[in-house]
């Protein structure tokens, strides 16, 4: 990341690596599209509009999830959340 220029200095002088920007550029270079910046991105570019579909396994049974249940993936500053999609 450093050699590609994906770093900056924090106010205290320590190094800050720009992981998100680096990986977005890497995906773009490989031709993987995750959407456009002009539609669907929130204030800090952290709003996703992707849906995950549950597959069956032992963990999903413990969580009372059924195959075919759908979740929206919400990206936060330090985590992501799976939120039940409408029409579950």
Tens-place pLDDT, residues 11-39 = 998 999 988 888 888 888 888 766 555 44
- Report the distance separating Cα 8 and Cα 14, nearest Å: 9
Contact of 30 with 36, CB cutoff 8 Å: no
Enter the pTM of the model. 0.38
The total domain count for the chain is 2
**Do 27 and 46 belong together in one domain?**
no
Looking at the fold, whether 59 and 18 belong to one and the same domain comes out as no
* Segments forming the whole domain that contains residue 66: 36-88
> Contact at 8 Å (CB) between 55 and 66?
no
Same domain? For 41 and 61 the reply is yes
Between the alpha carbon of residue 25 and those of residues 12, 18, 29, 33, 48, the distances in Å are 27, 11, 6, 10, 17
The span from the CA of 77 to the CA of 85, in Å, is: 21
Q: Which residue has the tokens 């759908």?
A: 70
Question: 11 and 22 share a domain?
Answer: yes
Q: How far is CA 29 from CA 16, 51, 78, in A?
A: 23, 24, 25
Q: Report pLDDT digits (tens) over 39-71.
A: 444 445 555 466 777 777 777 778 788 888 888
């Amino acid at each position: 990341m450093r050699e590609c220029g994906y770093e900056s200095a924090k106010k205290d002088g320590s190094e800050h690596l720009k992981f998100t920007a680096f990986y977005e550029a890497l995906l773009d270079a490989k031709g993987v599209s995750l959407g456009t910046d002009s539609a669907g991105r929130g204030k800090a570019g952290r709003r996703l509009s992707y849906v995950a579909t549950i597959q069956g396994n032992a963990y999903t049974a413990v969580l009372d999830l059924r195959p075919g249940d759908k979740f929206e993936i919400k990206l936060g500053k330090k985590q992501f959340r799976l939120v039940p999609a409408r029409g579950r």
